[in-house]
Amino acid sequence: MPAPYYGFIFSLLACISLKGLQATYYPDGYKGCFLDKEDRILEMMFPDSASNSGDFCKGLCREFRFRYAGTENGKECFCGDNIKDYEMKPDSECNTKCAGNVEEYCGGAWRISVYDNMGTTTIQTLTNSTTTLTTITTSGARNTKFNGISHHLQLILLPIVMTTALQCC
């Protein structure tokens, strides 16, 4: 077989073998797939939601100031400040599509996809006719600084600033 055909055949075989494979979306802070038990790996459970996804659950947990978020069985969301020492499983065992995002997996039967909210904060910009509150997205270690203020202190002050800004609008 002439040399030019080798490249074509290689490309064709690669295309055939990759057909059907799809990249999985993992929101920031993904820690992995873990075994869950009746004594849950994360202590707080929210009601099942048809909107559930990693980002949705992380948002709920962040709103209630929990460090960790976990999605299970497609529509379940759990939060906690500590992860119990349960067995980590291969990502392939967290194979249930998220109810709110079919491009993402949200755990499985007694399998939970766990996320760490620490170090990732997203804040939106609020504007009215007299005031503009510019906001930022930060990620990284806890000791990162922005304008000389530690990231940890920003997270403590942020709800106060946001509440004040909303009251002004």
Enumerate the domain spans of the chain.
23-116, 120-168
State the pLDDT confidence band at 11, using cuts at 50, 70 and 90. very low
Contacts of 11 (CB under 8 A, 6+ apart): none
CB 129 within 8 A of CB 46: no
Per residue in 106-118, pLDDT tens?
999 999 999 999 8
Q: Lowest-confidence range among 28-32, 52-56, 109-113, 145-149?
A: 145-149
CB 52 within 8 A of CB 77: yes
Structure pTM? 0.61
Answer whether residue 126 shows pLDDT above 70: no
Report the chain's mean pLDDT, rounded to a whole number.
Answer: 73
